[in-house]
Amino acid sequence: KLDVDRGPCTSSAFVFVSPHSLGATDRSAEAALMATAGKEMAYLTQFGQPILPFRRQRRFGYQNRPQSPLSHVENLERFIEIAPFLLPKDPAQSRFCIRHPDLRYDNIIVARSPDTGCEIVSLIDWQHASILPMFLLAGVPQQLQSHDDNISQSTTPLYRPENLEALSEGERDQQEYVYRQRVVNYHYHTSTEQCNQRHYTALTDPLHALRGRLFAQAGAPWEGETLELKLSLI
């Protein structure tokens, strides 16, 4: 019998076990944060078997031996122990909401009107949406995100390189591409700050990235190793 928690959940990370078994209150933000790890613990404890890591290039580091799930279960237990301390202090960040999980051009339907010009009339592809606390849903749409660019992560005003005209055509095109990517990311952050303060607060929380990474890693199906989760816990 599967004890499924409330709310739409289609991802493999959201087959919940009962939050009561983890010491959390039903429907609480704490329960949502802990539940993904709980379902993995429940599965691995009952059905887990030693397997080779899915990533073949890493098997040599394990002497090509099947790995027991017990190490991953131990790290999941550690995550559950620290989960209550990862909750934001602002209660508004723990309110449950729904957010489009894949906001990109193909999913935004725009109509032309002689009175208003272009108007957004629909957002499609909600099938992977989940109801979760704001601090777990906040983020920049993947199509606008630049994870490896520190400048894009800031809200500092952007300018083109001063020596742009002196560059070769290929270098100039590359700089223009980077500039456009940064401008889009910059305007997303500044517009979010102006129009959606609650989302912006969650987005700029110092623990936002770590919290989201731990949540995703603890809820992901075990693939024969626990390295990523262990590193994040450290």
pTM of the prediction? 0.79
Beta-carbon count within 10 A of 105 CB: 8
More confidently predicted of 103 and 76: 76
Q: What is the pLDDT of residues 37-83, one digit of tens each?
A: 999 999 999 999 999 999 999 999 999 999 999 999 999 999 999 99
Residue spans per domain, the chain: 12-96+207-233, 140-204
Residue 132 has pLDDT above 50, yes or no: yes
pLDDT for 112 equals 87
Residue 4 has pLDDT above 80, yes or no: no
Which band of pLDDT confidence, cut at 50, 70 and 90, is reported for residue 162? confident
Q: What is the mean pLDDT of the chain?
A: 86
Residue 154 has pLDDT above 70, yes or no: no
pLDDT for 30 equals 94
What whole-number distance in Å separates Cα of residue 33 and Cα of residue 81? 11
Beta-carbon count within 10 A of 132 CB: 20
CB distance 198 to 93 below 8 Å: yes
Which band of pLDDT confidence, cut at 50, 70 and 90, is reported for residue 10? very low
Up-side HSE of residue 187: CA atoms within 13 Å toward CB? 6
Q: Where are the alpha helices (DSSP H) in the chain?
A: 29-47, 70-82, 134-137, 150-153, 169-195, 197-203, 208-219, 227-233
pLDDT for 218 equals 96
